[in-house]
Structure 1
Amino acid sequence: MTQGPGGPTRARAATEERSGSRRDRERPPAPEPLPHPVVDNHCHLDIADGDDWFSTDDALAAASAVGVPRIVQIGCDLPGARWAVEAAATYDALVAGVALHPNEAPRQAAAGTLDEAMAEIEALARTHDKVRAIGETGLDHFRTGEDGRAAQVESFRRHIDLARRLDKTLVIHDRDAHEEVLRVLDEEGAPDRWVMHCFSGDAAFARQCLDRGAHLSFAGTVTFKNAQPLRDALLVVPRDRVLVETDAPFLTPTPYRGRPNASYLVPHTVRAMAEVRGDDLEALCAAVDANTEAAFGGSW
């Protein structure tokens, strides 16, 4: 098998709830394969969750075996964006998204390097036709306080402009910032294709995003017990606008919340989504697969 880029560019501890026991940190078993392939449209193969890093080859093989043969690899900072481009060029199963995460942008601004960093993101976005997305960008009012929010907004505006100029899909991170995300989008003008990554709003916010042309992507959070507003939102999304993702190695779906996540666990989320919506599983999988191609500019 072709060897891709090296190990993770950086280690980052998962922020979801988890037990400290070794047993609870074991990788979950593979689920039953899906009846039709789907795409994991948001994954971080380069980020290690603790010491147990899933190699790119192993992660792709495990995912393909359960009906997830394609992945959108997302870079969140300059090392991650470089890695994403290299990985997409190496593996047929991958395309890439490149950006400065909204929590990375204030760090670059504080260091006086935001212009330089954005120039590199643009250069990477122009490097290869498998760079399909500008993202994840957006706003995060949970981890960044008032002192960093102006830099977040500036960075978000510049990423929107870049997606529009290069005809790339815009992938948005929105944490506790629903109304401001829409305000900035309205002021700048959304690109033709944009995805609300790891959708976290309620049904009313879902309708606002849909009215602006968004695809809404649901992660393992839709399976969490306390996520009824998210399930209510899922119900209002037309079948031709719904996507699925892992955000791996984070947000592992029930019943394995707290263990390392990976694309091979997408079937748990898709099955939960079909149950909530009352959809036939195979029909929903086929729709998600087609929607991902539409959202990210074609097949790969």
Structure 2
Amino acid sequence: MPYVDTHCHLDHHFDLSASAQVAKARAAGVTTMITVGTDMASSTEAVSTARRHDGVFAAVGVHPNDAMEASPQVMEVIGRLATEPDVVAIGETGLDYYRDHTTPKQQEASFRAHIDLAVEHDRTLIVHCREAWDDLLDVLDAHGAPERVVMHCFSGDEKVVARCAEHGWYLSFAGNVTFKNAGVLRDAAAATPLELLLTETDSPYLTPHPHRGEANDPSYLPFTLRTLAELHGRTDEDLADVVMANAIRAFALPTQDPSEPT
């Protein structure tokens, strides 16, 4: 069955090359990956990685923890990268109040600039949020969200699920949904409408149980999907098909299987 990792950082892995991770993912049935930039350099590398591997796509942007770097000049480069054919999303961007590397004001300015790029280039907006849900959702409401929005590594509760679902925004769950202490997150995952559910690894971070403590990579995606399938009372195969269809809509992905000849 085909799996999709809608958010990984193939160029951030501590040990494995991007090519090694893609090969390992393919062996585990992960046919589609989106590798995500967090600044100008990693966004450029994400595009290069996607160009070299069938079934791998790129997202370009500046992480909110690096929002001070989202100058007009940098955002101009991000905008140019967004026109590349393998780029399907802008981000990750958003608000992060857990760390204080940048001020809320800097983060909001960067977030708004990313929203504008997503609208301008008709790209999906990948949103990072940590301990800032009320402010983040208010910015999206006030500024005007693009057509397609994905809440990456979703960390909200059931109330946030309901508010996002009202807008048709996708919620993507990572390996932390498998953690033993993640009861609130699992409740949120169970409350997520199936048509808005996505899977990711956020690798090399948030390695799912039972591999917690190891560096994560896209091949571990099936462990997260298995937990989500149990929460929704579905088989792994059924939910994998649902999530793949969701990812195709969420990121306007081509529908041809990358293993098929062109």
Alignment TM class, shorter chain as reference: over 0.9
How much does 1:62 deviate? 0.9
Q: Does 1:139 align with 2:95?
A: yes
2-side partners of 1:186 and 1:204: how far apart? 16
The residue matched to 1:201 in structure 2 has which SS?
A: coil
Equivalent AA in structure 2 for residue 191 of structure 1: P
2-side partners of 1:158 and 1:283: how far apart? 38
Q: 1:248 aligns with which of 185, 191, 203?
A: 203
Taking structure 1 as the reference length, the TM-score comes to: 0.83
The residue matched to 1:191 in structure 2 has which SS?
A: coil
How much does 1:88 deviate? 1.3
Q: Does 1:48 align with 2:10?
A: no
2-side partners of 1:261 and 1:281: how far apart? 20
Taking structure 2 as the reference length, the TM-score comes to: 0.94
Q: Does 1:181 align with 2:117?
A: no
Query: Which structure's CA Rg is the greater one?
Result: 1
Q: 2:75 aligns with which of 115, 118, 126?
A: 118
Q: Deviations over 1:172-207 (max 9, x none)?
A: 000111011100000111111110000001111111
1-side partners of 2:188 and 2:105: how far apart? 29
The residue matched to 2:103 in structure 1 has which SS?
A: helix
Q: 1:269 aligns with which of 224, 229, 232?
A: 224
1-side partners of 2:74 and 2:249: how far apart? 29
How much does 1:87 deviate? 1.1
Give the 5 Å matches for 1:1-300.
Answer: 36-49=1-14, 53-106=15-68, 108=69, 114-126=71-83, 128-144=84-100, 148-299=103-254
The answer as to whether partners of 2:30 and 2:219 remain within 8 angstroms in 1 is yes
Q: Deviations over 1:42-75 (max 9, x none)?
A: 00010133xxx21122111111111101100100
Q: Deviations over 1:229-267 (max 9, x none)?
A: 111111111211100000000000011212100000011
The residue matched to 1:46 in structure 2 has which SS?
A: coil
Q: Deviations over 1:65-86 (max 9, x none)?
A: 1110110010000110000111
Residue correspondences, number: 255
1-side partners of 2:35 and 2:221: how far apart? 15
The residue matched to 1:274 in structure 2 has which SS?
A: helix
Runs of 4 or more consecutive aligned structure 1 residues displaced over 4 Å after TM superposition? none
2-side partners of 1:298 and 1:265: how far apart? 22
1-side partners of 2:20 and 2:120: how far apart? 36
More helix per residue: 2
1-side partners of 2:9 and 2:189: how far apart? 24
Equivalent AA in structure 2 for residue 141 of structure 1: Y
The answer as to whether partners of 2:197 and 2:243 remain within 8 angstroms in 1 is yes
> Aligned residue for 1:7?
none
Report sequence identity in percent: 45
1-side partners of 2:61 and 2:253: how far apart? 20
Q: Which runs of 5+ in 2 are unaligned?
A: 256-262
The answer as to whether partners of 2:3 and 2:244 remain within 8 angstroms in 1 is yes
Q: Which runs of 5+ in 1 are unaligned?
A: 1-35
The answer as to whether partners of 2:13 and 2:203 remain within 8 angstroms in 1 is no
Equivalent AA in structure 2 for residue 121 of structure 1: I
